Amino acid sequence: MASAPTANGGSSLAEYDLILKLAQHLDRHMIFPLLEFSAGQLVDEESGEIKDEAKAREITQSKFSLLKKTNMTDYVANLYCELEGLKEPPTEFADRRQKVFGQLEKYEQETSKIIELLERDDVVNNLRSDKVANLEFLKRDHDVTIEMVNALFDFGNLQYSCGNYADASEMLYRFRVLSTDNDKVSYATWGRLACEILTMNWESALEEIQKVRELIDSKLAQNPLAQLEHRTALLHWALFPLFNFEKAREPILDLFFNAGYINTIQASCPWVLRYLAVAVITNRSRAKNPGMHQKQMKDVVRIVKQEAYEYQDPITRFVHALCIDFDFEEAQRQLVLAEEVLRSDFFLLAHADDFVESARHLIFESYCKIHARISLKDLSARLGLSAEAAEKWIVNLIRDTRLDAKIDYKEGTVVMNHPPSSVYQQVIEKTKGGFFRTQVLTAAIAK
């Protein structure tokens, strides 16, 4: 669908561009922002000039072929003009436009009655949670036929295709309330998710994600292949809220770390690991539950290790170097590369600084864990900071994290103090919960 961003010269970034891989699992409407973004990247920030004509043209071309099949006729016509250098779009676009309008009108008529009904309070108040009964009720009292309900679905579909995401979402919502057709309901749920994402309505997008997830788990349990495909799609779609909506992070990370989805990432789309790794690393400071974060980090490390043969990019290599090989120099090198990659990624652009900061933190943390004495000079090199800035940074860090470390200024070193965990403490830790758990047990037995 979208043409490949050409690897001009030895551009290392192009090699890590995931747009092609992502596009396979996204809806065409969702690919569009990605293409916009790549086009935006080509524009020189100061002069506003386009750096690479050929490539820009290519992107426009792919935009055109992307949207050709949709019903956003006006925009497509414009794109066509731009591509061919025409002033007036050919008449075929006008024809299509007419046709689309005709269809819209037709559906509008077909659905007007049911929409009207659904807006009436007396009708809505009579609806119950039982869909079959609802339909019966509407059939009996208001002459609603199943065709009318299905028309809602088609109308929603058409709206979506025309780019009226908000309306489409509304239609599909109504359809879902009434329809008993399981397949169509699941389509509608997907459709709504797409609409919410495209209208950046993250809260409801989250809800839809949850719904889709349930659908996948329940309906497709018998069909592992379809389940895999659906999960892959969901993972990709969920990237939008994951990086754009702060509150979505926890639940979506939860989703990603669910066994079934981790498995999906490993089986069919290892490139999602990049996003997962970035999300987890940057989540460090935000995580309410440090234990949770540690566990997620461990999971990420494990998967990165397992998938190293299949997928690698600077971000995963950074994780690999830091947490598996303990090669701090390599980690530092990869971090520099990773920053570049992040800055050219649609989803991660906004998180680049955050990531670099958190990554430094991570390096320092594991460095301190292993070393008893570190030379400041060396450390500043590792963190990619000047000696003075590094010192400041470390002081801040020591203060923030309450690390047991001191700076020996004369020697120019940081001295760590690793208190050995006492055996007594360990025994206490291990037996702490015992009493409570036993109590719960007895209570449960007594019940």
Q: Which of 54, 259 has the CB closer to another protein?
A: 259
At its nearest, how many Å lie between another protein and the CB of residue 252? 18
242 to each of 173, 200, 236, 253, 279, how far by Cα in Å?
A: 23, 12, 10, 8, 8
Between CA 301 and CA 299 the distance in angstroms is: 5
Q: Which is nearer to another protein, 193 or 300 (CB)?
A: 300
Which of 317, 347, 324, 159 is CA-nearest to residue 252? 347
Nearest to another protein of 203, 411 (CB atom) = 411
31 or 301: CB nearest another protein: 301
Buried b (16+ CB within 10 A) or exposed e, 285-323: eebeeeeebeebbeebbebbeebbeebbbbbbbbbbbbb
**Dist. CA 318–CA 337, nearest whole Å:** 9
Residues at the contact surface with another protein, assessed by CB under 8 A: 224, 259-260, 262-263, 266-267, 299, 302-303, 306, 309-310, 325-327, 366, 369-375, 378, 411, 413, 416, 418, 420, 423, 426-427, 430-431, 433-434, 437-438, 440-441, 444-445
CB of 221 to another protein, least distance (A): 13
Shortest Cβ 350–another protein spacing (Å) = 30
The CB-of-120 to another protein minimum distance in angstroms stands at 43
Residues 6+ apart with CB under 8 A from 320: 304, 305, 308, 312
**Do the Cβ atoms of 393 and 405 come closer than 8 Å?**
no
Listed in sequence order, the residues at least 6 apart from 436 whose beta carbon sits closer than 8 Å to its beta carbon are: none
Output 24 or 263, the one with its CB closest to another protein. 263
* Min separation Cβ 262 and another protein, Å: 6
Q: Smallest gap, in angstroms, from Cβ of residue 386 to another protein? A: 19
φ/ψ of residue 407, rounded to 5: -100, 125
Task: Report which of 411, 356, 362, 409 is spatially closest to residue 385, judged by C-alpha positions.
Answer: 356
Nearer residue to another protein within complex by CB, 181 or 378: 378
Nearer to another protein, 32 or 311 (CB): 311
- Rounded to a whole number of angstroms, the minimum distance from the CB of residue 215 to another protein is 19
Q: What are phi and psi of 161, to 5 degrees?
A: -60, -30
